[in-house]
Structure 1
Amino acid sequence: MAEIKAGTEGVVVERTGEDRAAGRPLVVTGPGELRAVLAGRGRVGLVPTMGYLHEGHAALMRRAREVCDVLVVSVFVNPLQFGPAEDLASYPRDLERDLGVAGGAGADVLFTPDAGTMYPAGFDTRVVVSGVSEGLDGASRPGHFTGVATVVLKLLNLVRPDVAFFGEKDWQQLAVLRQMVRDLNVAVDVVGLPTVRAPSGLALSSRNSYLRSEQLERASVLSRALRAVQVRYAAGERSADRLRQAGLEVLQTEPEVTLDYLSVVGRDMQERAVMDNDVMNRVLIAARMFGVRLIDNMPLDPAHGHPGA
């Protein structure tokens, strides 16, 4: 594994074993410094995040650490993917926490650009990925996936990783990014890894920090609803309406759920009346609970829950 450290005046020196033992990756804020640090360092992995790192992020980092020589974790709360009434200002931020989680999972570099670095004066370009971005969260959060695609393409251009790692919790986002990479011939392998869950079944998310412990337990109704759909699918049901109904029956037991959508979709992210047996079929949910918008998804066939890159 590469050991790296940025010295003064652009000189790059080797990172010591003591630095690694301290559990703190190198913090880099500028593109020039990042390029200097990564020059000639072998196979580079990237885990893009918006910070407030948790075990779900750490699982991505540990996987990246297994197959890459250098691991870069980006921490940037991207204003382009927040709508005007969303939680950009209050989104949880804690760089010290992030350093600890990233260092503990083996990250070499924490890339923390500011908004002025990512979107300098005069910035006027957006990346629009049609089709897979247009329903579900794309319909509920107009412009969201344009913001995601734009920032991720910028990060890929800045880091130039060989492999980029994303969680499957944001399934539609993963589909959008895979489409973007294919369409624009970006030289990177996009790897999706299974959602990491709390013991209750709730998908881990930075936004879970908004909820108290009792609320987190009640929010697990979302994953129970998804599992109910899986059970109905495993029993042979292929009607999309009846599959959805299995999940809705579970959601109706929790009065705090305000449902945005509960959808069963194919690999193209499109809903259909009757599902086939494609292993890429998914059930996705978005709902508000206790004032917090939460998302989750599962494969309709749990035996095919990790289709890989």
Structure 2
Amino acid sequence: MITTREGSRHVTVRVPAKVNLELNVGPHRADGYHDLATVFHAVSLYDDVTVEPAADWEVVAAGPYAEQIPLDESNLALLAARRVAQAGGVDTPVRITIDKQIPVAGGMAGGSADGAAALVACDALWGLELSRPQLDAMAGDLGSDVAFALTGGTAIGSGRGESLAPVLARGSYHWVFAISEGGLSTPAVYAECDRMRGRRRIAAPEPSDDLMAALRSGDPQALGSALSNDLQEAAFSLRPPLRDLLAAGLEMGALGGVVSGSGPTVAFLAADAEGALDLAVALAAVGSAPEVKRATGPAHGAHVLSHEMTRGR
């Protein structure tokens, strides 16, 4: 076992939210998951996760969604920190402070993002220099979206979503996120999707040619038309007002819209920054959603924001 090097104080990592530009859900697997073919896209809504040596393992929450973060052993950032400690033979606990700016249970992988940030932060704090394959393997074990939060950008996810391949994509895109009050349980949305499908035979999922072509072209109009999500109807079934919210955004000029992941956040694509501002103002004005945020994508994956060391005398 090793202990933290003298002088280590804290590391802060910034990590992005994501939107699924496309989410194709395949058959139910024996392990309880579904085969997926999804296209992840990181956006400029961020959590900052800080780790520092402490007397005991601890999670502290800050930010507008602090009260919604679990502070017990179920927290993905805490699980990630313990995983890195085990891999590196470290016996020093850490305090994890999460500045929560990504909506919780909103279909934007906020919890997974924190797990990815903790992997990077603890590796840097303890000076372990774990390889990227090691971090990716730990991320995949923690959850389907954690690996993408490490990577960022735009990528195809397969398997449970944890197996990633880069996408040839051009351009930068302007997004408006309409955030509904109260989250949706991911397992509940998948279960509703299964119920609605009944006994229908489901083909193996794969990314659509239209979406791949849109990303290669960098054309926002084409991308807006290609957005899709197999979980969307299930989310509408569990939260009917989401259907009206999506329709409202499209009527207000969005190039396209889609429920993000398992919802209930609805992501709208705008033509440019001015269009995104106009759409955000319009959605807020009519009260279509309790909260509206703007962001751009693609964004970088989890990266060290600050690494403060105070050397011993």
TM-score (norm 2): 0.29
TM-score normalised by length of structure 1:
0.30
Higher strand residue share? 2
Query: Structure 1 or 2: larger helix share?
Result: 1
